Amino acid sequence: MYDTFKALLDTFTPADSIKRLEQFGIGPDVIQQIRDRHEREAIRVRELEEPHVVEDGARETWYTGSQPKDKCWPAIEALLRKDGWPEPAVKSLDDSSYRIVSLLNHPRERAFSTRGLVVGYVQSGKTTNFTSVVAKAADRGYKLFIVLAGVHNGLRRQTQARLIQQLVEPNPTLWSQLTGPDKDFTPQENPASYFGKSNKTHVLCVVKKNATVLRKLARWLDQASEYLQDCPALIIDDEADQATVATKSINPLILSIMESLPKCAYLGYTASPFANLLIDPSAEDLYPKDFVVNLPKPIGHFGTEVLFGRYALDGEDPEQVDDGHDMIRSIPDEDVPYVRPATKADVDGFEPVITDSLREAVEYFWLATAARRVRDRGNPHNTMLIHTSVNTAVHNSFERPLERLRDRSAEALGDPEFVARLRGLWDRETARVAAEEFHETTVEFDRLLPELPGVLASCRIIMDNSSSEARLDYENGPVVAIAVGGNTLSRGLTLEGLSVSYFVRSVSAYDTLLQMGRWFGFRNGYADLPRIWMTDELAGWFRHIATVETEMRRDIDVYMTEAETPLTFAVRLRTHPAMRVTAAAKMRGAVMAASSYGGKRVQTHYFHTNAEWLRGNLAAARTLVTAAKTHSVRMEERPEDGRYIFRDVPHELVTDFLASYQFHEKSQENDGDLITGYIKKRVRTAGSLGRWNIAIVGHPGGTEDKPLTFAEGVTVGRISRARVTTTSPTPDFADIKTLMSRRDAAVDLVGDTAKLAEQEIKVERMRQFPDHGLLVLYPIDKVSTPDPSKQRREPLNAEEHVIGVGLVFPEPRGLDSTVEKYISADLSGIQIEDEDYSFLDGEGA
């Protein structure tokens, strides 16, 4: 019967395997015996250091889900259902937390020191997940739980309160607490009493990542060292990229605490794992050497991609990648000096101005709050975030201007002109984001108007920073607040009912920017109402980060699908010309990771809009087509489809074109010199890319409307590519986001390719043109009016017609030349010993 269970484990999760056994008519007592045996076998495998089963990232799975004797996890399940969690959400939490616990070491192993990383999403319920992991680990015998809850008191208190509610209060006799909601760690008398055999309780300690506090904890644990030999410990590091990596005080103290615990698992949680993935794996540090896990994206979560859209990754059809919701509003660059000092020297005496964009954001917040009162459901709190600077003096300077705006607005509610302006704002916003798309009903302005006096009367202006006494307090009734702050509001702490954000803070690293996005999370009952005001540059940065996140998670999933581990496969992080991946100190162990153009599509989506720049590119395209007519082996004309193809063109024509065509400077991947160098290296070292197919993709309706001539006898209709909408367009800049369709990537292939998937096109390309590159030219109409169904698009409105370029590279064969545009952890110092199977040939076999 045990062999049957093991076979089921190879196919199903442990929990599903047990359900299968129940379906076979196996009784609960027998199932329990099977589970106990499985745990014993798992311990034996690890203790003998036999080859690990390739299961969940090459780690032996031992945890088989909740058992009837368990207390902690069933209590959390019951609480979540009582709070109205839908069954699919509870199941998802159960599945993800069981997966993580199964990757930890069994608590009855003699000794272990595990390092793992869990990657979630900003404001996505990571606390609930690690609370569930703690509960399941406690049910299986882990004794000591240390939760490192960020660096601020607010987050520590919030985390402690949550753990008490979900772990301690349902089972008070099972827990001993070393900290409380208003009490960080202070040394307790007789530490041995907590860990001796007579104390059967689990020990919970929630501390800040503060050197003084951690030093006290480390000394206290040293006093109990003789009792810790058989004390399985789990350290949860919330916001594991903050203050943990490459710090001179916190990092050594965490490692010191781990050294005092012979049976210790360290589990980092973060939504921005860039720094953690770049730790030097060969050093005695906290690189997640054992496993990295992606948490699933919760249903209804507002994340980076949902709000800002992203760019297509290799292998994706760009037409299937969403632009994101139309919830981003532009702060004009000229407004920024009025809400943020230009330099540190300007901080003293700085007085902000209520610009048109800030006034509009605040007024929309009041309208959205009134609309939520009409709906009368969901989160009872309403918060707006203003984040323009890290400086507390700047935060405090906003108090009086915002209070004056609130008071004047309350007095003006009887002014028909003021009310008409509010009506216009509400009508514009509700037209841009349809409530029905989020299963909500639009609140008409006349219904929310009577609520506005109460909203303004209850609205507080709160300066929440390290120098202020005021704090956002959601414990004493519904809140309506405009919160102005910096670091205390920028990581971990939940802003309840956040519906409007005004954000102009300039930062230099991915993780800092991503963690400042307090607008990520769940918006039950008002998913149509959130809005974010920010500069167009920041919105572009967030779109880039959404792409980085998706690509990073794709790499992490390799651990679970291809039997890799973090010591054999380094996650790559795409770089950006204007931002660092993380702080420089945290990237000392990183290396440039080679990324090849081989097998990829490269396409332009950023353009200048001035006539001179565009005419230069048009001239470069005409020169290329004229030369291709002369030097191609065969020209195919399909004017009715808007297609021309020039086959077997020498690569020199392509490199000459790349020397004269100008890519926008923001297009890091589209670097003419890098691409040219790549082509020449492949020609020289691999005998590939010596010949190219050149295609023109125009409007399929012929040339009667909007013709553009490339060369004599080569005329096509212009296509439309609208720009991504911004309230205040940046001068001389357009982002069309998507240029090349999947069908275009197969334009030179022979046969019916219309229904081929992305991977099938790659396979077919390798069959037909294993050494040919493809370059596609797109004549884009300078006006390019968008399809009415595209909500986040507006006319291109360039000064001249635009030439877009797409390049398709065949998969590399043999030696391939690479282009550096990623960084990753340096695995060169890691020695992976091959398993010794020689014993199978001897008598012991």
> What is the rounded CA–CA span in Å between residue 766 and residue 749?
10
Residue type, 740: M
In eight-state DSSP terms, residue 118 is: E
For residue 148, is pLDDT > 60? yes
Which backbone phi and psi does 203 adopt, to 5 degrees?
-110, 125
Nearby residues of 233 by Cβ (< 8 Å), 6 or more positions away:
142, 143, 144, 145, 146, 261, 263, 264, 265
Ordered by where they begin, the domains of the chain are 52-299 (3.40.50.300), 302-536 (no CATH), 601-823 (no CATH)
Lowest mean pLDDT, pick from 27-36, 262-271, 812-821: 812-821
Instruction: Please state the length of the chain.
Output: 845
Res 38: pLDDT = 62
In this structure, the number of other CB atoms found within 10 A of the CB of residue 787 comes to: 9
Res 54: pLDDT = 26
Lowest mean pLDDT, pick from 24-38, 449-463, 464-478, 789-803: 24-38
- Express each pLDDT in 383-415 by its tens digit: 999 988 888 888 889 999 999 999 999 999 999
Taking a C-beta distance cutoff of 8 angstroms, is the pair 802, 607 a contact? yes
Res 57: pLDDT = 41
Average pLDDT over residues 432-448: 94
Res 266: pLDDT = 97
- Give the DSSP letter string of 16-67: HHHHHHHHTT--HHHHHHHHHHHHHHHHHHHHTTPPPP--TTT---------
For residue 841, is pLDDT > 60? no
Average pLDDT over residues 565-573: 84
- Give the DSSP letter string of 421-483: HHHHHHHHHHHHS-GGGGT--PPPHHHHGGGHHHHHHHEEEEEESTT-S-----SSS--EEEE
Res 315: pLDDT = 65
Average pLDDT over residues 462-468: 75
Burial 402-436 (b: 16+ CB within 10 A, else e): beebbeebbeeeeeeeeeeebbeebeebbeebebe
| pLDDT, greater one: 217 or 284 | 217
- Express each pLDDT in 594-643 by its tens digit: 566 788 888 898 899 999 999 999 999 999 999 999 999 999 998 888 89
Average pLDDT over residues 824-843: 48
- Express each pLDDT in 49-69 by its tens digit: 332 222 334 456 688 888 889
> What is the rounded CA–CA span in Å between residue 693 and residue 12?
48
Residue type, 604: T
Name the CA radius of gyration of the chain, rounded. 30
* Paired tokens of 343: 């330099």
Of these ranges, 126-135, 385-394, 550-559, 567-576, the one predicted with the greatest mean pLDDT is 126-135
> What is the rounded CA–CA span in Å between residue 234 and residue 263?
9
Average pLDDT over residues 90-113: 92
Res 42: pLDDT = 55
Residue 790 DSSP SS3: coil
Lowest mean pLDDT, pick from 49-53, 514-518, 588-592: 49-53
Res 151: pLDDT = 84
- Express each pLDDT in 643-692 by its tens digit: 999 999 999 999 999 999 999 987 766 788 888 888 888 888 778 899 99
Res 757: pLDDT = 81
In this structure, the number of other CB atoms found within 10 A of the CB of residue 311 comes to: 21
Counting Cα atoms < 13 Å in the Cβ hemisphere of 326 gives 19
> What is the rounded CA–CA span in Å between residue 610 and residue 777?
19
Res 593: pLDDT = 65
Average pLDDT over residues 86-110: 91
For residue 830, is pLDDT > 70? no
Burial 439-470 (b: 16+ CB within 10 A, else e): ebeebebeebbebbeebbeebebbbbbeebee
- Positive or negative, the CA dihedral 521, 527, 533, 537 is positive
